[in-house]
Amino acid sequence: MTELETLAFALNQFADLTVEDFEISTTLWHTRKYKKGDYFNQHKNVCTYLGFINSGTFRSYVIDHKTAEEKNVFLYSKNQFIVPFKSFINQTPCDYHTQAMTDATILYINIQDLLSLYKQSHKWERFGRLMAQMAFNVTIERMESFIFKSPEERYLDLIKNHPDIFNTIPLYHISSYLGIQGPSLSRIRKRISEN
């Protein structure tokens, strides 16, 4: 399956876009390769494109101004959309950095081209609405996980949503994302492997 075919399949699964719906967008998607450490978008920059990850893993993170510690906020992996949504949709400066954690490849579309698709097709307009709902849900679930879930439950959610993450990024990034220290992560992994 080519990268565009993979994207077409993902869009069909996500928003019921048909082959015909997708075809009006094919010339608007572009490929970009990232080296580990390259930025998809940086703090205070306006994000002007939406990406679909063909390979690799990304993180969004903030820097604690008191400790200079990087804190991972979101993770994105293969066959997922990547976008700092508030910055993208409002065209305002982003609150965090979004960076490749591995070498990666994405297909991306510019916001102006996406807005043009919304005007041309109700199916694409539906895609935009579903993206907004997904971004809202991811953000709320992330926030609520720290209120209602134990670190172990957050760990299990991470495995479900990013099954290959442990093969691609260092454990300290996973600890940061889960909001726990490294030794706690080790204890959780040991407990789960014993069950």
Q: What is the pLDDT of residues 5-42, one digit of tens each?
A: 999 999 999 999 999 999 999 999 999 999 999 999 99
Q: What is the pLDDT of residues 119-146, one digit of tens each?
A: 999 999 999 999 999 999 999 999 999 9
Residue among 133, 44, 130, 141 nearest 87 (CA) = 44
Is 158 domain-assigned? no
Is 20 domain-assigned? yes
Q: What is the pLDDT of residues 55-75, one digit of tens each?
A: 999 999 999 989 999 999 999
- The range of the structural domain enclosing residue 48 comes to 3-148
Residue 52 has pLDDT above 90, yes or no: yes
Residue 115 CB neighbours (<10 A): 13
Is 160 domain-assigned? no
pLDDT at 167: 86
The CATH number that applies at residue 22 is: 2.60.120.10
Q: What's the token pair of residue 108? A: 């991306």
pLDDT at 153: 93
- What is the per-residue DSSP string for the chain? --HHHHHHHHHHHHH---HHHHHTTGGG-EEEEE-TT-EEE-TTSBP-EEEEEEE--EEEEEE-TTT--EEEEEEE-TT-EE--HHHHHHT-B-SSEEEESS-EEEEEEEHHHHHHHHHH-HHHHHHHHHHHHHHHHHHHHHHHHHHH--HHHHHHHHHHH-TTGGGTS-HHHHHHHHTS-HHHHHHHHHHHHH-
Is 39 domain-assigned? yes
Is 186 domain-assigned? no
Residue 195 has pLDDT above 80, yes or no: no
pLDDT at 73: 94
Residue 115 has pLDDT above 80, yes or no: yes
Mean pLDDT within 142-156? 94
Mean pLDDT within 168-173? 90
Is residue 165 very low, low, confident or very high in pLDDT (cuts 50, 70, 90)? Answer: confident
Is 78 domain-assigned? yes
Is residue 110 very low, low, confident or very high in pLDDT (cuts 50, 70, 90)? Answer: very high
Question: For the chain, how many structural domains are there in total?
Answer: 1
pLDDT at 53: 97
Residue 164 has pLDDT above 90, yes or no: no
